[in-house]
Copies of this chain bind each other. A is one copy, B any other.
Amino acid sequence: MAIWEKNKALQEILYAELPRLAREEGMEHEQVFACLDSGTMVLLGNPAHPKLQALLIGQPARIKVNANLGTSPLNNCPQTEMEKVAAALAAGTDTIMDLSTAGDLDAIRKQMLEHCPLPVGTVPIYAVGKILIDSERDIAEMKEDELFDEIDKQCRQGVDFITVHCGLSKRGAELALEEKRVLGIVSRGGSMLARWMVENNKENPLLSDFDRLLDIVKPYNVTLSLGDGLRPGAGADAGDAAQWEEVINLGQLAKYAHKRGVQCMIEGPGHMPLNLVQGQIEGIKRLTNHAPLYVLGPLVCDTTPGYDHISGAIGGAIAVSSGADFLCYLTPAEHLTLPDLEDVRAGVMASRVAAQAGEIALGRARALKKEAAMNRARKNLDWENMAKVAIDPELLQKRRQTHKNEEVCAMCGKFCSVKMLRDVKVKKK
Contacts and interface: CB of A to CB of B under 8 A. Distances in A.
Interface of A: 72-75, 101-102, 126, 129-130, 133, 139, 174, 177-178, 182-188, 190-192, 194-195, 198-199, 201, 233-236, 273-275, 300-307, 309-311, 313-314, 317-318, 321, 332-338, 349-350, 353-354, 356-358, 360-361, 368, 370-372, 374-376, 378-379, 386, 389-392, 395-396, 399-400, 402-403, 406, 408-418, 420-421, 424-427
A41 to B, nearest CB: 23
Given A307-B349, A336-B396, A427 B198 contact: yes
Main secondary structure on A side of the interface with B: helix
Contact of A400 (B133, B192, B300, B336): B336
A396 B234 contact: no
Given A188-B417, A305-B396, A336-B400, A371 B234 contact: yes
A375 B310 contact: no
A184 B418 contact: yes
Given A307-B391, A350-B310, A357 B301 contact: yes
A309 B391 CA distance: 14
A415 B133 contact: yes
B390 A199 contact: no
A74 B199 CA distance: 67
B333 A421 contact: no
A414 to B, nearest CB: 5
Nearest to A299: B357
